[in-house]
Amino acid sequence: MSEILARLEGVSRIYQKGKEKVEVLHELNLEIPKGDFIAIMGPSGSGKTTLLNLLGGLDKPTAGTVTVGGAELSAMSNSQLSHWRSTNVGFIFQFYNLLPVLTALRNVELPLLLTDFNSKERVKRASIALDIVGLADRAKHYPRELSGGQEQRVAIARAIVSDPSLLLCDEPTGDLDRETADEILRLLQVLNREHGKTIVMVTHDAQAADYANRTLHCDKGTLEAKEAA
């Protein structure tokens, strides 16, 4: 049996919206084995992104526990979570979220600023990450000088540069055409299969979900397996 990287036990997340309480996740249980590639699908507001935020230590559950790589995130303080995120998880967003004032290389270098590596080592590692995503020749380009697909590749390089075991992708192909989306998804597949990254990807796109090992359907705060890969 595969080693479990992340585990959610009895997780509920309730948001207060004015006087109303909205339960986004309801007593959810989930185990994510190391090296898995999971796609999470579901309608808007079903709790997909909330689930991703909990796994990434960006949010805390109202009830239940979230454990990733042996660390219980739900018990950590904000500063502990910040430190944990910097080394254990990489985020990939729909709109890339690169800093427009920095070149591709410097965007990729950002997570390494939180480490003790010197400037030369940081640049070396960022260059390797860019090479992995096939953008070594675009290192000195600013985001405005790159296509959407290239921007997303830079974002992926930034997510993997500190070698986290878990990659969380929130609609990573939502802003891309089919062909470019397939390129990005193939790249994620390579990262999963060849580099051993555990990937959790939220998507609306069934074709994108096909690249994952398995797909979970999220609706009304609960999860169910949709189909096996």
Partner 1 sequence: MKYFRLIWKNAWRKKIRTSLTILSVFVAFLLFALLSAIGFAFRGGVDVADAERLIIIDKVSLINPLPMSYMNRVAATDGVESVTHASWFGGYYQEPRNQFGQFPVDPQSYFDMYPEFKMPAEQFEAFKRNRTGAVVGQELAKTYGWKVGDQIPIQATIWTKADGGRTWEFQLEGIFSTDDPRGSTALMLFQYDYFEEARAFAKGTVGWYILRVAKGADPIQVAKAIDLQFANSPNETETSTEAAFAQSFTKQFGNIALIVTLILGAVFFTLLLVSGNTMSQSVREKIPELAVLKTLGFGDRTVLGIVLSESILIMLLGGLLGLGTGWLFVQGLAKGMAAFLPGVYLSPAALAGGVAMMIGAGILAGIFPALKAMRLSIIEALARS
Residue from 65, 86, 189, 213 in contact with partner 1 (CB under 8 A): 86
The three-state DSSP-derived secondary structure of 183-197 is HHHHHHHHHHHCCCC
Q: Give dist(CA 152, CA 94) in Å, integer.
A: 8
Distance, in Å, from the CA atom of 169 to the CA atom of 211, rounded to the nearest integer, reads 13
Applying CB under 8 A, does 217 fall inside the site for partner 1?
Answer: no
- Tell the smallest beta-carbon distance from residue 90 to partner 1 (Å): 9
Nearer to partner 1, 110 or 136 (CB): 110
Chosen residue from 75, 114, 190, 206 binding partner 1 by CB under 8 A: 114
Is 228 an interacting residue with respect to partner 1 (CB under 8 A)?
Answer: no
Cα distance between the two ends of the chain:
18
Nearer to partner 1, 140 or 186 (CB): 140
Give how far the C-alpha of residue 121 lies from the chain's centroid of Cα atoms, to the nearest Å: 25
Secondary structure letter of residue 97 according to DSSP: -
**Distance in angstroms (rounded) separating the CA atoms of residues 25 and 128:** 38
Least CB distance to partner 1 at residue 137 (A): 22
13 is an interface residue for partner 1 by CB under 8 A: no
Contact residue for partner 1 among 7, 93, 127, 214 (CB under 8 A): 93
